[in-house]
Structure 1
Amino acid sequence: MRSTEASAPLWPAGAWKEAEKIVSRSPTDFEERVYAPQRITAIVATLAEDGVSPAHVLAGSGLDEAAPVTRVSYAQVATVLHNALRLAPDPAFALRAGARMHLTQYGIYGYALLSSRTYAQLLEFSVKYRRVIGPMTSMAYDAEHNPAICSFEPLLSLDPCDPLYRIALEFTYAAHLTLCRDVLGPTFNLTAVHVTYPAPAHANAYATLLQCPTVQFAQSANELHFDPAWAGCIPQLQDGITHEMARQSCQQFLDELTHISGTAALVRRALADQMPWRFPKIEAMALELALEPRTLRRKLEAQGTSYRQILADVRRGLAIEYLRKTRMTTEEIASRLGYSDAANFRHAFARWTGKTPHAYRLI
């Protein structure tokens, strides 16, 4: 532990839990081709409507429209999203693409949702088994209060000012509305839409495409609000046996996915367990995981990542959270992130985001 640790500022209230959320939120199976390609298909189809060639949207992803695949990776999704951001003539393309995501496109996961006993059970299932579909966001819900709330956090970016963060949320919001109407009928409506980033140029499209008159930007959380009475509504095709069979299939996939993404996930979990925050060298982390350092390097490399990259991702996420949600000074944040001085932290943050910590906080 660094000698400056004893004089470092107190850990902010609730920051341990915030750090754990950041560590657990990012995909650990970034390069593994294990997810269905429907999200990419929806984006390609939406841009094709606007005259953009599928080949251009798929460029650099290793995917070819003429050779359909059944499994894709987060890395391929991210590549397609970056291409779409650059090529789309309509800035609201992600909202339109998400609206294409009907239940039939989710496979066995969709059958589980469709056969849920109630909408509340559907939400509970969505949270627990969301990784089955390679989601763009994490999800939580509270259907006990008024309004009922579904909250989301993008997985492919932790920075609300990053366009990738925005389109992941737009896609998810529209997809969630389509899913709910597929299950509960066309009368399902949202009562409010909240997002954490400032209003984009196409802000008016939110109310139109999400069919919700109350859309608020620069909020403290990403939330969809709805009437809690919907929680007890029974889907038209609810069936306990079908739901349980589909649930078992989803559980089997999750078990397999845990095996695939094991090493990177273990590293992130180990980092979370070492708070108050410490950033051990790879030799110390390998010892904790009962591995040789070279074995740990090899396992992470096989997953398309590295210990250095995981540390950078975690530090970046924490820095953004502290700047957004606390009054910690740059020096205090630098100390908590293990930097020898604030200048090194400022350089790293500028490299990650293109902005200084001070400029980022003013956004």
Structure 2
Amino acid sequence: MPVDAAPARPSWDYPRSPVASRHLLDTAAAHDIDPARCLTGTGLTTQALADPDTEIQADQELTIARNLLVAAGNQPGLGVETGLRYNLANVGILGYALLASPTVRDAVTVGLRYISLSSAFVTISLHESGTDAVLLLDDTEIPPDVRRFLLERDLSAMAQMLPLLYGRDLFSVPARIELRMPEPAALLPHLAATITFDAARNAVTVPRKLLDQPMPAADPHTAAACARQCQELLDRRRERSGIAGQVRSRLLRNPADIPSMTTVAAELAITERTLHRRLATEGTTYRALVDELRETLAVELLHNGLTVEEAARQLGYSETASFTHAYIRWRGIPPSKQPYRGRGSGPLALRSL
């Protein structure tokens, strides 16, 4: 069945660690705001956020951010202040994977591949043209009332951690930043770059040759081991049981002909409304399960040497452009840039399904 035009869930809608929420509460405390006020409507407690094994949903973090902004009277600069609280320990095993990458390009690729292990709400993608390498920071999926705050936070967090990951000398190169927002009261003073406000896009541009520079702590074996751990962590976060598992099994029968939610509900002898409710109870949606299936299969099909057009067709896309757009949303790079392993090099790895 060709892909319909129904909107997918936002790219930021994934389970996440409590670190970012703790930083939000730290900012609240710095402004004498009661943490309990920020947690209103989330079902979370400060004790839960202190537990590193806690996983929270993106909408819970959004609620904390909204509560903070309301309590602080939408005070300018809160996003920058919160972003500056980030440190290398906050990115966990992903940070080690980045540190050990052979080149900056490899590190960027790994970072985009496992972006859902971070707290980012912006959708990040890499584009290379001429002598420029451009990181686009798409904030259009972020709700308008928290968009500026989260863009400032994510950009500030990146600026805070990149020198720690890649070395200050490596990132002393000229950079240009374009931001769609008006000039903030706090002018992001820690960003050593030329900044243009009220731009048509959010983007960070650096010399393309920077991507080929070796990483200061490059270690291919460590990088590979850390990448495997990143994938395992991502898989665990995606694991679902119950009704979601049944739906996933049904979708796997023929990924090129994805049935409608109504059809799957009928096959499970329940109503579509009941299926929607039970999936929501398990923290997912029908569209999210379809997206997860297509993303995992797309990566493996391309790894095994299929062309972009072949992969698109096998996954039920009537137009290659639609598949390319979806792939960039999933992985941050076009499918044509997906590393190639060669035909017949191994079975599809469906562990995350």
TM-score, shorter chain, exceeding 0.5: yes
TM-score of Structure 1 vs Structure 2, range by shorter chain: 0.5 to 0.7
Counterparts in 2 of 1:314-353, with a 5 A limit? none
TM-score computed with the length of structure 2 as normaliser: 0.65
C-alpha distance in 1, partners of 2:4/2:276? 27
Partner of 2:328: none
Pair 1:44 & 2:25 matched? yes
Cα distance change of structure 1 residues 170 and 18 upon mapping to structure 2, 3 Å threshold: farther
Distance 2:117 2:61 in 1: 15
1:204 shift after superposition: 4.5
How far off is 1:292 after superposition?
3.7
Partner of 1:186: 168
Summarize deviations over 1:189-209 as a string: whole Å, max 9, x none: 56222234x42xx62424424
Note the alpha carbon deviations across 1:108-151, whole angstroms, 9 max, x for none: 11111111111111110011111123532222112454331111
- Cα contact 2:77–2:186 (8 A) shared by 1: yes
Q: Could you tell me the TM-score, scaled by structure 1's length?
A: 0.63
Cα distance in structure 1, aligned partners of 2:164 and 2:219? 16
Matches of 1:107 and 1:212, distance apart in 2: 27
Is 2:12–2:121's contact at 8 Å kept on the other side of the alignment? Answer: no
Residue number in structure 2 paired with 1:114: 99
- 2:115 corresponds to 1:130: yes
Following superposition, which runs of at least 4 residues in structure 1 exceed 4 angstroms of deviation? 16-20, 261-266, 304-310
Alpha-carbon separation, structure 2, partners of 1:212 and 1:238:
26
> 1: distance between equivalents of 2:264 and 2:13?
17
Matched-pair contact (CA < 8 Å) for 1:143–1:231: no
In 2 relative to 1, CA 17–147 (structure 1 residues): closer, same or farther, beyond 3 Å? farther
Question: What's the Cα RMSD here?
Answer: 3.8
Say yes or no: does 1:238 pair with 2:223. no
1:165-207 CA distance string (max 9 Å, x none): 22222211111122211122234256222234x42xx624244
Residues in 2 aligned to 1:229 and 1:57: alpha-carbon distance in whole angstroms:
44
Alignment match, 2:152: 170
More helix, by proportion? 1
Find the counterpart in structure 2 of residue 69 from structure 1.
Answer: 51
Q: 1:172 to 1:308 in 2, by over 3 A?
A: closer
Q: Which residue of 2 aligns with 1:283?
A: 262
Letter in 1 for 2:125: A
Give 1:88's aligned residue.
72
Aligned match for 2:278, one of 296, 299, 317: 299
> Is the partner of 2:8 in helix, strand or coil?
helix
1:54 to 35, 48, 57: 35
- Is the aligned partner of 1:217 residue 2:220? no
Matched AA of 1:62 = G
Match of 1:146 among 123, 131, 134: 131
Aligned partners of 2:206, 2:132: CA distance in 1, in Å? 6
Q: Secondary structure at the match of 1:56?
A: helix
Which amino acid is the alignment partner of residue 246 of structure 1?
C
Which aligned pairs between 1:153-164 and structure 2 lie closer than 5 A? 153-154=138-139, 158=141, 162-164=144-146
Aligned length: 274
> What is the alpha-carbon distance in structure 1 between the residues aligned to residue 194 and residue 280 of structure 2?
47
Q: Unpaired runs of 5+ in structure 2?
A: 290-353
Q: What percent of counterpart residues are identical?
A: 22
How far has the Cα of 1:69 moved from its partner? 2.2
CA 1:195–1:263 in 2, change beyond 3 Å: closer, same or farther? farther
State how far apart, in whole Å, the 2-side matches of 1:133 and 1:254 are.
11
